[in-house]
Structures are given as C-alpha cells and as structure tokens.
Amino acid sequence: MALDPQKRAEFVNAYTRALINAWSSEEYAARLSTDPRSALAEAGLELPADAEVVIVRTVPDGKQDGNLDVQVDFWEVGLATGRYEFHIPETPMVDTAELSEGDLSDVAAGGTYCCCPCCCCT
C-alpha cells in the first residue's frame, strides 16, 4: 500500500518529530522503550490499538541503505500487517537544530553527517 504524497509528507514530518524528540529528551527516549505507542502518538504517529510496535535503537548494518525511504516502507508494511517498525537510533553527536530533512534522514539511517560545508570530514 503506497502512500500518496500528502500522507507520505505527514508520516515523514511525524517521524522526524519523533527522532528530534528522542534525541533532545532523555525522558522521551525512555518512553519509546516503556510506552512506545503514546510516545509515537505525541509525535503525530497514531497507531491502531492492536498494532505491534517495534523500536530499533541500534540500526543494523544493511538496513541503512535508502534511509528515510526504508522507514516509509516500514510504515507502509505496518499499515498492511499491523507490525510497525521504527528505526530511532541513539542520539547523534550533531546539533539537530541545524539539520535539514535529508540530513535527519541520513542520521536516522545511521549514515554519516558532515558537519561542515566543505565536506572535508567524509
């Protein structure tokens, strides 16, 4: 079940809020483990009552390719099956206030983020 562009944008925005909340609030990050359904709902990701929620804090190698597209695919699978998997890695060592959606996508997938415009650190 492919998301239409508006639904995809809504999901991406809510998922991005969940990432930023997890990275900026230890309390929110802890709630992702103890009560993921309400933590995700707070970010705008409403899940059915009978949904299985899986939070992955350490993104395995091989699941990084495609970054945000992979997470959108997981969301679409969840809509079809009732099993929702969210990759929300541990806090990155970057200032998330300075990141674009694309940068967040790379960090969420465990990719490398260059801290300067010259890209000398890649």
Q: Does residue 117 belong to any structural domain of this protein? A: no
Can you give the pTM of this predicted structure? 0.70
d(CA 63, CA 25): 25
Q: Does residue 116 belong to any structural domain of this protein? A: no
Q: Angle 5-24/36-43 helices, nearest 10 degrees?
A: 120
More confident residue, 66 or 22: 22
The residue segments making up the domain with residue 84 are 5-108
* Least confident interval from 37-46, 62-71, 91-100, 106-115: 106-115
Domains in the chain, number: 1
Q: What is the pLDDT of residues 49-60, one digit of tens each?
A: 999 999 998 866
Q: Does residue 121 belong to any structural domain of this protein? A: no
Q: Does residue 113 belong to any structural domain of this protein? A: no
Q: Does residue 77 belong to any structural domain of this protein? A: yes
Q: Does residue 122 belong to any structural domain of this protein? A: no
Q: Does residue 71 belong to any structural domain of this protein? A: yes
